[in-house]
Amino acid sequence: MAELRSEEEQVEALKRWWNENGKSLLAGIAIAILGVVGWNYYQDAQQQEAETASAYYQRLLGNASASQMGAAERSAIKQDAQTLKGEYGDSAYAHYAALMLAKVAVVEGDLEAAEIQLRWVLTNAEESELAELANLRLAQVLQAQGHLDQALVLVQDKADAWQGRRLEAKGDILLAQGDQSAARSAYEKAKKVAAEQGANTALLSLKFDNLVE
C-alpha cells in the first residue's frame, strides 16, 4: 500500500508540475521549432538571392566580354547593372556592376556618369581591393575631365599592392600638368615597384624613356 501511495503521489506531483509548467514548456518548444524553421527559411532565401544576383552578374559579364561592346551590349549591361544596384545594393555584385557602369559611361563619353558610379563604389564598397580599383579609375576619369589637382590627390604614394599602378597614374597626371621631371620620377619609381611585384614594365619603360631629361 505504501508503494501504491508513493506512486499516486508521484503521479499527482507530475500533474501539478505539468499544470504549472506544461504550457510554458510547450510554448518554448514551439518557439524553438519556429526559430529553426525561420532560420532555414532565411538561409534558403539568402541562397536564392545570391544565386539570382550571380545570374544577373554572369549575364552582365557575358555582354561586357563581347568582342565588340556595341549599343545592344551596353544597353543590356546597364539594365542588369541597375538591377543589381537596385535590388542587391549591399552585395559585391552591385559594386562590380557599378564599376562596369562606369566603364560603359567612359566608352560612351559620359565622364560625369562614370564619376558618379565610381564615387558610389567608394562610398559603399567594404572590400579594400575593390575600393582601390575604384579610386584608381576615378583618378583617371578626373584626369580626363581636366580636374588634375583632384586626380593627383587620389594617387598619393603608399606602399601596398596598388603602389605601382598609383605611381603610373600619378606620372600620367603630372605629365598632363606639364611637370615632366616629376612625371619621370613617378614613372621610374613605378617601374621599380612593378618589377619587384613581378608585373610587366614594358609600358612604363616606354613612358619613362619618352621623357628625356
109: CATH? 1.25.40
Residue 75 lies in a domain: yes
**What cell does 118 get?**
565610381
Using a pLDDT cut of 90, give the percent of the chain over it: 48
Residue 172 lies in a domain: no
Residue 19 lies in a domain: yes
pLDDT in tens, the chain (213 residues): 444 445 555 555 555 655 666 556 555 665 666 555 555 544 554 567 677 878 888 888 888 876 677 889 899 989 998 998 999 888 888 999 999 999 999 999 999 999 999 999 999 988 889 999 999 999 999 999 999 999 999 999 888 899 999 999 999 999 999 999 999 999 999 999 999 999 999 998 999 888 866
Residue 187 lies in a domain: no
Q: What is the pTM of this model?
A: 0.74
Amino acid identity of residue 155, one-letter, is V
Residue 192 lies in a domain: no
Residue 212 lies in a domain: no
Q: Which domain holds residue 112?
A: 2-154
Residue 197 lies in a domain: no
Q: Are 66 and 73 in contact (CB under 8 A)?
A: yes
Number of domains into which the chain is organized: 1
Residue 199 lies in a domain: no
Measuring CA to CA, which residue among 126, 86, 121 is closest to residue 100?
A: 121
**What cell does 151 get?**
586626380
